[in-house]
Amino acid sequence: MALRWYTVVIDCRDVAAQARWWAQALDWKPIYEAEDEVVLVPSWVDDEALSSTPWQRVPPGLVFVPVPEGKQVKNRLHLDLAPHITDDREAEIDRLLSLGATRVDVGQRDDTSWDVLADPEGNEFCVLSSREN
């Protein structure tokens, strides 16, 4: 038996708005949209790509589902994003901020190699140093 990491589920108050924000942030696309759930996958994922990619290597998606309460405490789980070494990391952070992200202090030191941001509903995520792989 083999399990694969299938999705990360993000609780939110405005499912459609959060999904649109993350789709823009990651350049992903929705593959399922309903009032109570939106599913995003990487833009390259289509039927042809899926048929040629081994099941266990298909990347996880993001699923947005509604909850009645707003975020109240620091996330216990967060996403780490990293730009490629050929991309301008600071420009990517500026782009995320222009989309509505905010800078967040979760107690990180001033000399860390990552920046902590939050999406429009306050969910923290990190932008790491540039990576080749």
Strand order in the sheet with 28-34: 7-12, 61-66, 37-42, 28-34
* Among 110, 113, 118, CA closest to 130: 113
Same domain? For 114 and 100 the reply is yes
Q: Is the pLDDT of residue 113 over 70?
A: yes
Q: Comparing 82 with 4, which gets the higher pLDDT?
A: 82
CATH number, domain of 120, equals 3.10.180.10
Same domain? For 54 and 112 the reply is no
The answer to whether the CB of 117 falls within 8 A of the CB of 96 is yes
Our count of domains for the chain comes to 2
Same domain? For 47 and 87 the reply is no
Domain containing 23 equals: 1-70
Q: What is the pLDDT of residues 30-62, one digit of tens each?
A: 999 999 999 999 999 888 888 898 888 888 999
